[in-house]
Amino acid sequence: MSTANPISPESKSIAVLPFVNRSPDPDNEYFSDGITEEIINALTKIQSLKVIARTSVFAFKGKNIDVRQIGRQLGVNTILEGSVRKAASKVRITAQLVRTTDGFQLWSKRFDRQLEDIFELQDEISLLIADQIRENFGHFDLQEQLIQAPTENISAYNLYLKGRFHQLRWNAEDIKLATVYYEQSISQDPLFALPYFGAGLSYGILASWAFMPYEEGIEKAVHLLSKGQEINQENHLNYFAQATISLWGRWDFRLAYQQLIKAIELNPSFTDAQEGLAELYTAIGEFDKAMSLTKQILNLNPLSPNHHYTKGNIFYLSGEYDRAIEAMNGALQIDPEFALALEVKAACYILRGDYSDLDNFLQDHPQVQLPYYCRALFKLMHKADHIAIDLSAIQSNRAGQNQHEAPASLIAWHLYLQVYLGHTQAALDALEAGIEGRLGQLINFQHDPFLKSLHSSSRYQDLLAQNFAKERLPSIPTPSQKAPKDEQTRSLLTPQEVDLYMSRLSSTLKADEPFLDPDLSLKGLANQLDIHPNKLSWLINERLDQNFNEYINGFRLEAFKKKALLPANAHLTLLAIAYESGFNSKTVFNTFFKKKMEMTPRAWVKSQS
């Protein structure tokens, strides 16, 4: 995992590391992974909070890496770590929030609950974490609830998590197994929408990439998604699954665009939908839009090999092969076995025309699917007679007459061989059949560099017109001018309310000294002032230009300075006086004191004598 290009951290930001499975049964890994993902999904609902996507945080699973290094690599100021212990009907979750600049623990807690309360517990943890980030790093509006129970059937939920666990391994066998668990979940609770979306998406992927009969897979996917929509239409997974079928299963770019936009509106941090939109832009030739979106995605999900591949694929289809190789290297640094990156990198070496690079790459990466085809294609393209490849076998069977006879692969090597063997009509037959079958390998055919010699063919032009006609393409609006005030910095209080609550805040802090309570929270103070926590957070941040903890610790500091100079407290240690003043940590006290007073507490006391 590369750390060569650390990302500057954003103040209101978090990465939720995979919760460790502490259950007696190691097979409960799916459950701890599911809890992690649910908390990530909950936190993404908070505007102005940067939440690192699942793929990137799961890159650290099982690795003992310092949180400060992880923070630099992911560009976040906080890390949530935790563990899950599930036994019979009970669950124990421990969690701690750590500041990445110095490894300081901001918050920690242990929760012991009944399994049937799992959704309430996920919501409670998510809200507590969000409160801590807001108190330490600045204002954002926080909803009253982030997670709602999607089912009352815990058995169905367990089966759904197992399906999700296997689906997210993104290989054909695991996706097939995911459909089994999803369908079992549906049988346990037919009114639980999420497994319908998971199963529909899984069947759509299997059909689009020829891992099962196309018509059968698409038919199952459409049926399951329609059933799920009857239960819950306003879910980002619903629209993302629909878009996957529309884009990869049907090449319906207009409808897929609408569905992806809806998925992103419902969950702006869902990078899978954003990547789907980037893939759509790529397929229709909107490379600038695709690249701009991909860069945004990599900010939220910098360790996703898929996103690095998407970036590299844009360069590849644009003819920038060196930059494509660089991006594919980024994907392979994260996952050395990432098949698509390996295949496209081999294609780049062929197109660059340096056989030694290709040969060395193939020798170093025996997992490339069809190395013989790669070498044969290079020989044909560059008329390199010195390459010891016998083309007679390939020529005799015409590299496979159609996609069913050709070797299965992630890249259409068989089609490219037909092109460069001069079998133009056979190549067009295979291309037409593949397009008709909506093969995922061919969705970018209009910009495929290996198919340039077919462009002059009327059959090719007909295929282009049929699939990329104007009426099939989305109507993409031009970016509107940014509103003068961001949603999160708009005024939550009128000028009269600002004056009222500022006065009430000042008088309460002076008269009641609530800051002496080390457990004072933003919500607790808001209750005393009879104001909504969102409004108090906004007031402190926008009008006083401080975060909550900095503001409250300022009062604690003044209380300490007064108490430390009282003769009656001469018998107390400075740390004891700090605790009496409301500080609950030696580190917080010393750090805050030095920051504000530019000297240690002991040096300050001595200077006052």
Residue 485 is predicted with a pLDDT of 43
* pLDDT of residue 384 exceeding 70: yes
Domain contains 479: no
What's the chain's average pLDDT? 91
Kindly state whether residue 571 falls inside one of the protein's structural domains. yes
Looking up residue 63, the CATH number of its domain turns out to be 3.40.50.10610
Range of the domain at 245: 158-472
503-547 per-position pLDDT tens digit: 999 999 999 999 999 999 999 999 999 999 999 999 999 899 999
- Residue ending a domain, choose from 83, 103, 137: 137
* 484 domain residue, yes or no: no
Indicate if 85 and 200 belong to the same structural domain.
no
The answer to whether residue 147 sits within a structural domain is: no
122 pLDDT higher than 60: yes
Cβ within 8 Å of residue 596, ≥6 positions away: 554, 557
Which of the listed residues 76, 106, 137 is the one where a domain comes to its end? Answer: 137
% the chain with pLDDT above 90? 80
For residue 483, name the pLDDT band (cuts at 50, 70, 90).
very low
462: pLDDT strictly greater than 80: yes
Say if residue 294 is in the same domain as residue 342: yes
**pLDDT tens figures, 130-166:** 999 999 999 999 999 999 999 999 999 999 999 999 9
- pLDDT tens sequence across 80-119: 999 999 988 899 999 999 999 999 999 999 999 999 999 9
User: Quick check: is 1 in a domain?
Assistant: no
- Whether 105 and 191 share a structural domain: no
Q: Are residues 405 and 298 part of one domain?
A: yes
Which residues lie across from 85 on neighbouring strands?
Answer: 92
Backbone angles phi, psi at 76, to 5 degrees: -130, 155
At 139 the pLDDT is 92
512 plus 446 within the same structural domain: no
Q: Indicate if 357 and 424 belong to the same structural domain.
A: yes
Whether 305 is covered by a domain: the verdict is yes
Asked if 171 and 369 touch (Cβ cutoff 8 Å), the reply is: no
Domain harbouring 441, CATH code: 1.25.40.10
| Judgement on whether residues 323 and 394 belong to the same structural domain of the protein | yes
Residue 388 has a pLDDT of: 83
Same domain, 424 and 516: no
Report whether pLDDT(396) > 60.
Answer: no
pLDDT value at residue 533: 95
The predicted pLDDT at position 402 comes to 42
Q: Which of 440, 472, 504 is the last residue of a domain?
A: 472
Tokens of residue 284, six digits:
């229709």
77/121 same-domain check:
yes
Contacts of 336 (CB under 8 A, 6+ apart): none
Rg of the chain over all Cα atoms, to the nearest angstrom: 29
Residues 176 and 257 grouped into a single domain: yes
Residues 457 and 604 in one domain: no
pLDDT for 289 equals: 96
Whether residue 389 has pLDDT greater than 80: yes
Element (H, E) at 78: strand 76-87
The pLDDT of residue 488 is above 60: no
Residue 590 belongs to a domain with what CATH number? 1.10.10.60
Q: Give CA–CA dist 110/19, Å, rounded.
A: 13
Residues 126 and 111: their CA atoms lie apart, in Å, by 13
Question: How far, in Å, are 252, 255, 281, 542, 582 from residue 493 at the CA level?
Answer: 46, 41, 41, 11, 29
Run of H or E including 99: strand 90-99
Q: Quick check: is 202 in a domain?
A: yes
What is the pLDDT confidence band of residue 216, given thresholds at 50, 70 and 90? very high
Same domain assignment for residues 546 and 439: no
150 with 192: CB under 8 angstroms?
Answer: yes
Residue 194 lies in a domain: yes
Task: Give DSSP secondary structure letters for 106-142.
Answer: EEEEEEEEEGGGHHHHHHHHHHHHHHHHHHHH-----
Q: Which amino acid is at 295?
A: K
pLDDT at 391: 81
In this predicted structure, what is the pLDDT of residue 408?
60
For residue 440, the model assigns a pLDDT of: 85
Counting the structural domains of the chain, the total is 3
Q: CA dist 605 to 505, 570, 579, 592, 597, Å?
A: 30, 11, 16, 15, 11
